[in-house]
């Protein structure tokens, strides 16, 4: 048994999904102790005076820091090759995405690099990214395919995620995002492309080898329309993959209503969401995933977080870490952006990046919460409260990270 003592503030996040109106109201315990069972699950916790620490327990002194559930980054594109800083500069100089694409940049550049890269190379590139995410307090990460855009290269990306999961303490969740964009070989023939990536033998392999749990699609004027997105998601769903949708980012075309209709676990982006879509998501129990670091990175308007919270939608926040529109891999920084740019409170963003993000990934029974019997995925800060964490954002202040009851990261000097 492990006893974590001297916790200045324990943020007792309940299991998700938690509706927007309740997200700002989470209880905290000052001067807490928390026990971890031998099976790596959370045992008794409470004010230090109310929890007996067994003599045999190994004691971890939280040093007067705040402790909260391990963070869950439920939307990332962490596996990729190549970088696109040239494009970053071109965009700052005023070039449009279309002009950049014409010059061979944009997602095409990443797709070419990923197709050329071996499984080993992709693993070598992704591992340090995951190690840094862990150091920020992130204990579960979703990773999408979507830069292969042939059935073989998409399967290669999923195999990379599976192998990475064996090499890092971070728990990984894979999503099949073959419908990320239409590859140039299939320009104007989106359905023929979908025939390839939805071929029964491809989906069978994903199923047999347990290569993905989710299917995701980029539903947008420049990518897949509603009919194609529905076909992709329904076919993947019949093969056992849970749908998710990149929805309402640039164009309002009803993509989040589609997410609700197909029983998606989340609709992600939502910068242009309308009232009918808000209602549809609420009725379907679909989580709204907001990606504020992406809008910050691109210098565009943020999704209307307060409107979604007031409509009582469960809201999650994720990085959208990717080489084109958001090279920000820090979930705490992203949460701070949700505070300062979207008007979410520190408590709301903690719920958004723990309980609600776990619900997006179908893991709310096990992670994202502080409750007896839940897996002991925990972050100890060298800050006395979670509000101080976001007040002083940009400072690295994670003292230790615990996954399944085991310390998997310690900041130097602790
Ligand atoms: Zn994305």
Sign of CA dihedral 164, 169, 173, 177: negative
Task: Report the C-alpha gap between 8 and 399 in whole angstroms.
Answer: 13
Q: Note the pLDDT tens digit of each residue in 286-297.
A: 999 999 999 999
The residues near 185 (Cβ < 8 Å, ≥ 6 apart) are none
Q: How far is the CA of 64 from the centre of ligand 1 (A)?
A: 37
Mean pLDDT of 121-135: 98
Give the pLDDT of residue 10: 98
- Within 8 A by CB and 6+ apart from 244, the residues are 175, 214, 215, 216, 259, 264, 265, 266, 267, 268, 360
Q: What is the C-alpha to C-alpha distance for residues 303 and 124, in angstroms, rounded to an integer?
A: 34
The pLDDT score that the predictor gives to residue 413 is 55
Q: How far is the CA of 403 from the centre of ligand 1 (A)?
A: 26
Phi-psi region for residue 326, left (φ > 0), alpha (ψ -120 to 50) or beta?
beta
Structural domain boundaries of the chain?
A: 2-69+369-410, 71-360
HSE at residue 412, side-chain half, CA atoms within 13 A, is 0
Instruction: Give the position of tokens 């002194």.
Output: 61
- Please, are residues 42 and 360 in contact by the beta-carbon 8 Å criterion? no
When pLDDT is cut at 50, 70 and 90, the band that residue 98 belongs to is: confident
Residue 246 alpha carbon to ligand 1 centre in Å? 7
**Residue 261 CB partners (closer than 8 Å, separation 6+):** 230, 280, 284
**Residue 245 CA, ligand 1 centroid: distance in Å:** 9
Number of H helices, E strands in the chain: 16, 15
Q: Alpha carbon 214 to chain centroid distance?
A: 13
Q: Which residues pair with 140 in a beta bridge?
A: 72, 171
Distance (Å, whole) CA 151 – CA 203 = 10
Tokens linked to 21: 């109106």
- Reduced to 3 states (helix: H, G, I; strand: E, B; else coil), residue 1 is coil
- In 174-261, where does DSSP find H-type helix? 190-197, 200-208, 226-238, 255-261
Average pLDDT, the chain: 96
Q: Binning pLDDT at 50, 70 and 90, where does residue 122 land?
A: very high
* Interatomic CA distance for residues 129 and 354, integer angstroms: 20
Residue among 414, 412, 348, 411 at smallest CA distance from 136: 411
Cis peptide before 281 (omega within 30 of 0): no
59: helix, strand or coil: strand
pTM above 0.95, yes or no: yes
Q: Does pLDDT of 412 surpass 90?
A: no
- Average pLDDT over every residue of 338-348: 98
Q: How far is the CA of 360 from the centre of ligand 1 (A)?
A: 14
CA of 31 to the centre of ligand 1 (A): 39
H helices of 326-370, where?
A: 331-342, 346-352, 355-360
Q: Which residues pair with 69 in a beta bridge?
A: 378
Q: How confident is the model at residue 243 (pLDDT cuts 50, 70, 90)?
A: very high
Closest CA to 354 of 69, 22, 143: 69
Say if domain 2-69+369-410 classifies as CATH 2.40.110.10. no
320-340 mean pLDDT: 97
Ligand 1 mean position, distance from CA 319 (Å): 9
Q: Which pairing describes strands 2-12 and 27-36: parallel, antiparallel, or unpaired? A: antiparallel
pLDDT score recorded for residue 102: 80
Mean pLDDT of 240-260: 95
The model's pLDDT over 168-189, given as tens digits with 9 standing for 90+, comes to 999 999 999 999 999 999 999 9
In this predicted structure, what is the pLDDT of residue 414? 45
User: What's the CA-to-centroid distance between 217 and ligand 1, angstroms?
Assistant: 9
CA of 375 to the centre of ligand 1 (A): 27
Distance 49 CA to ligand 1 centre (A): 46
- Report the CATH fold assignment for 71-360: TIM Barrel (3.20.20)
For 270-281, how does the pLDDT look when each residue is reduced to its tens digit (9 = 90+)? Answer: 999 999 999 999
- Find the 188 Cα to ligand 1 centroid distance in Å: 23
Q: What is the pLDDT of residues 5-51, one digit of tens each?
A: 999 999 999 999 999 999 999 999 999 999 999 999 999 999 999 99
Distance 215 CA to ligand 1 centre (A): 12
Tell me the C-alpha distance between 315 and 299, whole Å. 22
* Cα 45 to the center of its chain, rounded Å: 28
Distance 143 CA to ligand 1 centre (A): 10
Give the three-state DSSP class for 317: strand
Enter the DSSP assignment of 306.
H
Vertex 287 angle, CA 272 and 168, to 5°:
110
Instruction: Tell me if 161 sits within 8 A of 174, measured CB to CB.
Output: yes
- Round to whole Å and give the CA distance between 96 and 16: 39
Evaluate whether 24 touches 305 at the Cβ level (below 8 Å): no
Q: What is the Å distance from ligand 1's center to 82 Cα?
A: 17
Residue 224: DSSP 8-state: B
In this prediction, residue 394 carries a pLDDT of 87
Separation of 50 CA from ligand 1 center, angstroms? 44
Segment 344-394, tens digit of pLDDT: 999 999 999 999 999 999 999 999 999 999 999 999 999 999 999 999 998
For residue range 191-232, what is the model confidence (pLDDT) as tens digits?
Answer: 999 999 999 999 999 999 999 999 999 998 889 999 999 999
């Amino acid at each position: 048994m492990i006893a974590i003592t001297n916790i200045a503030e324990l943020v007792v996040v309940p299991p998700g999904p938690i509706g927007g109106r309740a997200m700002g109201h989470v209880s905290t315990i000052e001067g807490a102790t928390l026990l971890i069972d031998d099976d790596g699950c959370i045992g008794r916790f409470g004010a230090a005076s109310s929890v007996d620490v067994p003599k045999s327990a190994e004691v971890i002194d939280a040093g007067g820091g705040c402790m909260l559930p391990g963070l869950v980054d439920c939307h990332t594109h962490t596996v990729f090759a190549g970088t696109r800083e040239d494009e970053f500069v071109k965009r700052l100089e005023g070039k449009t995405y279309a002009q950049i694409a014409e010059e061979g940049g944009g997602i095409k550049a990443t797709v070419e690099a990923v197709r050329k890269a071996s499984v080993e190379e992709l693993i070598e590139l992704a591992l340090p990214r995951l190690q840094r995410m862990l150091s920020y307090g992130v204990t579960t990460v979703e990773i999408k395919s979507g830069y292969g855009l042939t059935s073989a290269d998409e399967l290669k990306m999923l195999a990379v995620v599976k192998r990475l999961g064996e090499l890092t303490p971070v728990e990984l969740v894979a999503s099949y995002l073959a419908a990320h964009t239409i590859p140039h070989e299939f320009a104007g023939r989106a359905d023929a492309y979908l025939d390839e990536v939805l071929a029964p033998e491809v989906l069978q392999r994903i199923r047999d080898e347990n290569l993905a749990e989710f299917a995701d699609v980029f539903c947008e004027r420049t990518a897949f329309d509603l009919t194609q997105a529905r076909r992709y998601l329904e076919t993947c769903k019949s093969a056992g993959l849970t749908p998710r949708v990149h929805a309402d980012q640039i164009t309002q075309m009803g993509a989040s209503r589609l997410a609700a209709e197909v029983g998606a676990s989340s609709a992600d982006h939502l910068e242009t969401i309308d009232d009918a879509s808000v209602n549809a998501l609420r009725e379907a129990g679909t989580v709204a995933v907001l990606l504020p670091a992406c809008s910050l990175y691109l210098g565009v308007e943020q999704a209307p977080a307060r409107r979604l919270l007031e409509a009582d939608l469960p809201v999650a926040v994720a990085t959208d870490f990717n080489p084109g529109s958001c090279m920000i891999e820090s979930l705490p920084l992203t949460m701070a952006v949700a505070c300062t740019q979207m008007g979410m409170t520190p408590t709301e963003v903690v719920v958004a990046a723990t309980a609600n993000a776990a619900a997006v990934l179908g893991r709310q029974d096990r992670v994202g919460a502080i409750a007896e019997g839940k897996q002991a995925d925990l972050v100890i800060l060298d800050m006395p409260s979670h509000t101080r964490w976001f007040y002083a954002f940009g400072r690295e202040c994670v003292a230790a990270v615990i996954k399944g009851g085991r310390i998997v990261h310690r900041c130097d000097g602790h």
